[in-house]
Structure 1
Amino acid sequence: MTAQVLAGALADDGRRRVFGAVVLGAADRAAVAARTGLTAREVVTALRRLADAGVVTGVDGDLRVDGDWLREAAAGPPAPDAGPVDAGERVLRTFLRDGVLVGLPAQRGRRRVLLAHIATSFEPGVRYPERAVDDTLRGWCAGGASDHVTLRRYLIDEALLSREQGVYWRTG
């Protein structure tokens, strides 16, 4: 169980209202319906989803919030003992998830750090046709945060890639 599961379970307004009613002491479906103003069907559906996520227990009787599970989800995974992190690493952690771009920094310096990392996808001295460059950059854009054409333009503008007659090579 993770904080993402908790966030997903509480993403719906009705489920949040049901969760709140249980936290405040509603011990059965009728009490939850009375406190939330939701129909019995909406309450049952919300309770089932909350129980499936592991947030609420006792759906058929005595409703309770699983406090131990909430504490574990709030604590999250233990942080690795990595020591100090430099600014470049921080930029990469912020804008890359599992090797996929989740956004482009607005600040030029941060964007340059990210682009320099992406440029390592290309071997120095090797000439690439535009299609190969696009295919490589599409892998970085799988999350939809940016597109490969924008990345290619930035790489050229920052002199990390050079281009001549549809052929690209790593420079910077």
Structure 2
Amino acid sequence: MDPLDLLRLLLDPQRLAVVGDVAARPRTSAELAQRHGIGTEEVLRTLAPLVQADLVTAADATYHLDVDAWRALARTLPRGAPASPRVGFGMTAEETGVLARFFQGDRLSELPAQRHKRLVVLERLALEFEPGVRYPEREVNSLLRRFHDDHATLRRALVDEGYLDRAAGEYWRAGGRVV
């Protein structure tokens, strides 16, 4: 099955709910019918395309999610662009590995939840600011927007973690390495 076809199938809220139940644990059509307030024939129609695609199997009147088939389908999805080599500028090999997980091209896909990884990302962003130069907020926003649309969160994180300092609408480099 093509991943786009699967997405179209899962846009049906009833099918998505039924598949979610089957993913949680194997269930019979009678269980699924009762849980979702539909007839068993409707359960069969709902799951039929996924059974035909071998993503759901029926054995002993019980439906099972074929996790390996879903993983195989996931491997066919296109990968995002790898992090640009520029992203690793001034960073160690280990740090570059962390950055590779959170950057696609030159863009930050998300700010890491784990602090030690977030600090690696912020350290890299801090390298964009020259020590001793004062930047108006507008310029800081513009520079950070090149990496992520939520420039305000990045700016606050850089200040909170001590990479930038601010006063009177100006920001300057306050921490991090210099390369």
**TM-score, normalised to structure 2's length?**
0.48
